[in-house]
Amino acid sequence: MEKLKQHIKNLPKADVHSHLHLAGSQKRFIERYPSANLNFPVKYDGLAGMINFIHNHLNTIMLTDKDVVNFMEIAIESAIDDNVTLLEASVDIGLARFFNNSIDPIIEAVKNLKEKYKSQINFKPDIGVNKDLDLEKVYSDGVRCLESGVFNGIDLYGQEANQDLKPFVKFYDIARDLGVKTKVHIGEFSNHLSIEDAIKTLNPQEIQHGIRAIDSKNTMDLIVKNNIRLNLCPTSNLLLGAVDHLENHPLLKLIDHGIKITVNTDDLILFNTNISEEFIKLLDANLFSLKDLEVIRTNAFD
């Protein structure tokens, strides 16, 4: 097993579903903030429980613009620790609140991080938009990020059920016009119909999670027809209660339906896992052979 673990660790890997300022490993975090004294939960009470932990604990440590950059650096270093050679991680544009409500210093910081780590990792930042953000900011700060040329993708997240996605259509159109990759979070805690709605409304290239697609053949067919890749995060699903046991994770059923999937970390700092550990867990649960994992690993580089 040790030999297998080392083999997986040594393989070049990609993480394409990650939220940058929450993507540092707990180990790196404690090294950088030794007096932080955080007790990380082993399980969260759904999305609300996770947001609670971020607000009441993490946000008491991430207080300044420098902390935000620190958190991002920790994330990139944690990816390098695991031999992740491609990191697509979203930078939440709401973080402008730490930079005198200006987006430009964030764009500059992200540009500097790309440069700083370029010999070690291909860091491709996504523009992260929470649906709670003022629409005005989406179209001012978000478009400024798009036009900066620093970002490679966009991603939309936050509450999933009963959300009107139409206000974001133009943002997705602008991204497409600029040749920027389009992703959207949907179908982790919302039903298969919400996935169909997101596909029809935003026409994304990739879906973050999308696991509830297994409840409908029609939804899975739509995903295949549109050639949409699902960027899954098994441990995140488990710790947030979207899936009860790893053995019951929908990923096999999705693959069997012909859907292209990848395996990712979501928020390292919260879920205390990395890509190698995700692969090991899937092997341990007898969900995959090493050969299957090779397909999943290489999918993420497409």
Which position among 88, 188, 196, 278 bears the catalytic label? 188
Could you say whether residue 155 binds Zn ion (CB under 5 A)? no
Nearer to Zn ion by Cβ, of 219 and 235: the residue is 235
Task: Please say which residue, 65 or 90, places its beta carbon nearer to Zn ion.
Answer: 90
> With binding defined as CB under 5 A, does residue 196 bind Zn ion?
no
Contact 264, 15 (CB under 8 A): yes
Question: Smallest gap, in angstroms, from Cβ of residue 100 to Zn ion?
Answer: 27
Q: Which stretch binds Zn ion (CB under 5 A): 41-49, 198-206, 218-226, 261-269?
A: 261-269
Using the contact rule CB under 5 A, the part of the chain among 113-121, 201-209, 278-286, 294-302 near Zn ion is 201-209
> Is 115 an annotated catalytic residue?
no
Give the count of beta carbons closer than 10 Å to the beta carbon of residue 109. 20
Closest-CA residue to 181 (of 202, 167, 160, 210) = 202
> ∠ at Cα 159 (168, 75), nearest 5°?
90
Q: Using alpha carbons only, give the angle 95, 96, 97 rounded to the nearest 5 degrees.
A: 85
Residues 6+ apart with CB under 8 A from 186: 160, 194, 195, 198, 207, 208, 209, 210
Letters for 280-299 (x = contact with Zn ion by CB under 5 A, - = none) are --------------------
Q: Which residue is nearest to Zn ion (CB)?
A: 266
Q: Which stretch binds Zn ion (CB under 5 A): 7-15, 138-146, 162-170, 258-266?
A: 258-266
Alpha carbons 256 and 42: distance in angstroms, whole number? 31
Among the listed residues 277, 302, 280, 299, the one whose alpha carbon sits nearest the alpha carbon of residue 26: 277
> Site residues for Zn ion, window 44-83 (CB under 5 A)?
none
Residue 266 as a binder of Zn ion (CB under 5 A): the answer is yes
Question: Catalytic residue positions?
Answer: 188
Binding site for Zn ion (CB under 5 A): 208, 266
